[in-house]
Amino acid sequence: MDQQGHFRGLERLYDQAPINSAFTSHLTVTGAGSTRIEMIAGPQHFHAAGAVHGSLYFKLLDDAAFYAANSLVGEVFMLTTAFNILMTRPLGPGPLVAEGRWVSGHRRVLIAESWLTDAEGEEVGRGTGTFMRSRIALAGLDGYRID
């Protein structure tokens, strides 16, 4: 497997996922088992009390951990089977960074964690997930290609 090609393929897959048309975010696979997602939160991401909705915490944390796990698996798309989050602070508008890293597992199920930081670099949330290999070939998905 061409590791760098796989990483770029995952980044393209992320960019082209229909859900990401609602979120202006950018994924970088920084190495085997590690990722970084950057995004700017705005009022369109707020709940009624004027802070970032928990669904955005979940999305960024899940995506960062998910792609960290899938960076180690070059053949198939992973599936999130469980994900737990802890939100430690409310967020206003501004830049956010979610980072993910693989923790354990190599065969069928992998475990990865992620953390979310605000513009000051303060952690505002943390997540841990389990990800299972699917039968969906990466090569067959729109957006995933290795140059």
pTM comes to 0.96
Q: Where are the domains of the chain?
A: 3-140
Average pLDDT over the chain reads 96
pLDDT digit string, tens, across residues 26-66: 999 999 999 999 999 999 999 999 999 999 999 999 999 99
**Angle CA(45)–CA(51)–CA(55) in degrees, nearest 5?**
50
Q: Average of pLDDT values for 77-95?
A: 97
Burial 69-92 (b: 16+ CB within 10 A, else e): bbbbbbebbbeeeebebebeeebe
pLDDT confidence of residue 1? 67
Topology (CATH level 3) of domain 3-140 = Thiol Ester Dehydrase; Chain A (3.10.129)
CA–CA dist 26, 87 (Å, integer): 22
